[in-house]
Amino acid sequence: MRVLVTGANGFIGSWVCRLSLESGHQVVALCHRRRERLETIAGHPALRIEKGDVLDQGHLAALCDRCQIEALCHLAIQPPQAQGPVNTEGTLSVLQAGVGRVVFVSSMSVYNFLAPRYLPVDERHPLEPLQAYGAQKALAETCCQKYREQLEIPILRLAGVYGPGKEQGAAYQFTKAALCGRPIEIPLNRSVDLLFVGDAAAAVVAAAEGHAGSETCNIGSGRALALDELARLICQQQQVEVPIACGPPGNTFYLDISRARQRFGFTPRPLEEGLACLADWVKSR
């Protein structure tokens, strides 16, 4: 299968490219400015790296036509802290690129992750984004749904993604602190849904292969993990002891992933495995 990945140099996008190649697909990696995350696979005979912008609809459509793209994985985003049209206008450009199957990678940010109406949060839960990024993702989802009469468009709502390549988030911060022998500070002991980046990429590739149809699927661990439990597990796994300063309990949020399990057999790997992979990467740096 010939796949185009937008946001290919991103944290998740680069994993999607690697896993797609491992699955035997031909990959066109669309990068806006940089490509350093793809350097380790740049010589792969089935990989073609293209510079471009999803907002340039003419170039994107021509590229898809020239490369005879069969599935498009849309991971290009405007980061949560930035303002811009990529999350909305970029998605519309992708939908108009002439590809019959478009995988739209959305986010748990479309939900009210601080005060969900019920747990676990399934795909029928109302969309109540708290921030501009979540609102843009929700609007982009609406665009996708309008095109579902013409195209096959699976929508994947990802939980909090961690893993090698991301220097943010509790899993990374706690691992770095533990390995450096520094105290771990948890001001508010929230319970969160953590998704390993390799599992996120596997879900995207499965959707690109057609296993998700035009479903909207939550992709996460399917469980709530308290931050102090995460910190203790990391310390235990790395055989280190550091002080863990834990504040009061916070909110709980986690996704119901039963639809993804039923639709394409999505099974997140054990947390310990993902954390070990992250720790190896942190050590290497």
Residue 77: the pLDDT is: 86
Q: Which candidate, 183, 160, 169, places its Cα nearest to that of 282?
A: 169
Six-digit token pair at 241? Answer: 């002891």
Residue 78: the pLDDT is: 76
pLDDT per residue as tens digits for the range 124-180: 999 999 999 999 999 999 999 999 999 999 999 999 999 999 999 999 999 999 999
Give me the chain's average pLDDT, please.
96
pLDDT per residue as tens digits for the range 197-220: 999 999 999 999 999 999 999 999
Residues sharing a CB contact under 8 Å with residue 141, sequence separation 6 or more, in sequence order: 104, 106, 110, 127, 155, 216
pLDDT per residue as tens digits for the range 82-118: 556 778 899 999 999 999 999 999 999 999 999 999 9
User: Does the pLDDT at position 68 exceed 80?
Assistant: yes
pLDDT per residue as tens digits for the range 175-203: 999 999 999 999 999 999 999 999 999 99
Residue 82: the pLDDT is: 58
All domains of the chain in start order, with CATH: 2-160+195-219 (3.40.50.720), 162-193+224-253+270-284 (3.90.25.10)
123 vs 82, higher pLDDT: 123
